Amino acid sequence: MSNQVELVRRAGEGRAAGADGKREAALRRAAELKERIADYLAAVPHIPTGFTYQEEIAENKRRILSALGGTEEDWADWHWHLRHRITNVETLRAILPLGEAEAEGIKMVGRRFRWAISPYYASLITPGDPACPVRRQAVPSPEELCGGGEDDPMAEEWTSPAPGVTRRYPDRLIINVTNRCAMYCRHCQRRRNIGEIDHNRCRSDLVQALAYIRANEEIRDVLLTGGDALLLSDRQLDWLLSELDAIPHVEIKRLGTRVPVTLPQRVTPELCAVLAKHPPLYLNTQFNHPKEVTPAAKEACDRLAAAGVVLGNQAVLLKGVNDHPHVMKKLNQELLKIRVRPYYLFHAKQVTGTGHFVTRIEDGLAIMEALRGFTSGLAIPTYIINAPKGFGKIPLLPDYLLDYDEREVTLRTWEGRLLRYPNGWASG
């Protein structure tokens, strides 16, 4: 409170001193604000991004193309990346240095959990760094076998009133259209659906899901997800989006996809021409670390934005990947530069095999505390815990409203200053 009193005192002195005094008070305040961000500015050069690591990524790409027998033309073809996903230790060893113990650990995990890495995403991994945040998301770890968690903590199989449908809210629902992904993230919430064979939802199931939406006029918002919604063919997407457009009470469509992060080559001009036909269309992707924000990802997002698609990001808070305030701040700032709005920061779910990624809730709150006031409001997502058993999203915030009564409230600012504020109109 003394800091606030001092600020008011200085403002009073500035008024008494005229314009020069006001400018002097403003300069003192600006110096205080500059000091508050000094630690972040010192850390930024040490946080890798996909733009600062372009030379390393290009070298990784050359090595991967050589190992897989590919060409520059192949690299631009998203189908080639899917056909050449890395799915065994022998191929991975041709790309990354693996010790015997690590190789055996990956094989052991692979006997229980499927894994696959797109060549593009593999090119973002720093070869000699076992703690690389991209590597942690892509390469299996024996930590996945440590037990605990649930296969379906969100109870999606208990909230499915029609084939492929998950409904947890009054006015919106999900259609799970495929189990295919460009790569299988080690923290995936739906790893139970991956299986051993990639398959899209059959047409008869989708027809039943659409019939359910038509019969329930309160549904105004439909999310297509999976797996990855953009791994449907252009033709399938066009058909499904057209069907939703024809339902009068469906106001918006959404796509859940990680291809801007893991396979940006999928975002072709032909795909964007399809998406441009179906506004209003919203796309939420999942960048989890600044290293994933590359020139290729930017090109994909530029194409989507030019097609009228509104872009958002749903990051997952992951131990050893992005559980530091400076890393999260840099991620969100990099996203805004490529026109992707940070939307949610999800607390990692209690999914079987993912316990090594789960942080404490206070870690997430500390990150939110370090964002508010220290960066643009546009760069601040909502921190979310998904309630177990399918009861929906719960937003978490640091405490800024400390007390209130009928006359006034006690507030805490982003700097920790305590203020009393009128609860309603202050008449004098």
DSSP secondary structure string, 49-105?
A: -TTTTHHHHHHHHHHHHHHHT--HHHHT-HHHHHHT-B-SHHHHHTTS---HHHHHH
Q: Read off the pLDDT band of 28 (50, 70, 90).
A: very high
pLDDT computed for residue 13 by the predictor: 57
pLDDT computed for residue 5 by the predictor: 47
pLDDT computed for residue 125 by the predictor: 98
Q: Are the C-beta atoms of 126 and 132 separated by less than 8 Å?
A: yes
Residue with the bigger pLDDT between 391 and 338: it is: 338
- Phi, psi angle pair for 389, to nearest 5°: 65, 20
| Helix/strand/coil (H/E/C) assignment for every residue in 121-140 | HHCCCCCCCCCCHHHHHHCC
Average pLDDT over residues 401-412: 95
Class of domain 156-396: alpha beta
d(CA 178, CA 161): 18
Closest CA to 257 of 230, 236, 277: 230
Residue with the bigger pLDDT between 69 and 13: it is: 69
Angle, CA 222 vertex, CA 217 and CA 224 arms, to 5°: 150
Residue 11 predicted with pLDDT over 80: no
Residue 3 predicted with pLDDT over 80: no
Report the range of poorest mean pLDDT among 7-21, 140-154, 205-219.
Answer: 7-21
Q: What are the CB-based long-range contacts (under 8 Å, 24+) for 8-14?
A: none
Residue 246 predicted with pLDDT over 70: yes
Q: Are the C-beta atoms of 357 and 348 separated by less than 8 Å?
A: yes
Domain locations in the chain as residue ranges: 1-36, 54-130, 156-396, 399-428
Closest CA to 152 of 358, 428, 352: 352
Residue 1 predicted with pLDDT over 50: no
Q: Dump pLDDT digits (tens) for 293-332.
A: 999 999 999 999 999 999 999 999 999 999 999 999 999 9
Q: Dump pLDDT digits (tens) for 153-196.
A: 888 888 999 999 999 999 999 999 999 999 999 999 998 888 77
What are the C-alpha distances in Å from 249 to residues 170, 215, 242, 287? 13, 10, 14, 32
Residue with the bigger pLDDT between 1 and 171: it is: 171
Q: Dump pLDDT digits (tens) for 252-296.
A: 999 999 999 999 999 999 999 999 999 999 999 999 999 999 999
pLDDT computed for residue 12 by the predictor: 54
Q: Dump pLDDT digits (tens) for 118-135.
A: 999 999 999 989 999 999
Q: Are the C-beta atoms of 384 and 396 separated by less than 8 Å?
A: yes
Q: Dump pLDDT digits (tens) for 74-119.
A: 999 999 999 999 999 999 999 999 999 999 999 999 999 999 999 9
Average pLDDT over residues 55-71: 97
How high does pLDDT run on average in the chain? 94
pLDDT computed for residue 194 by the predictor: 85
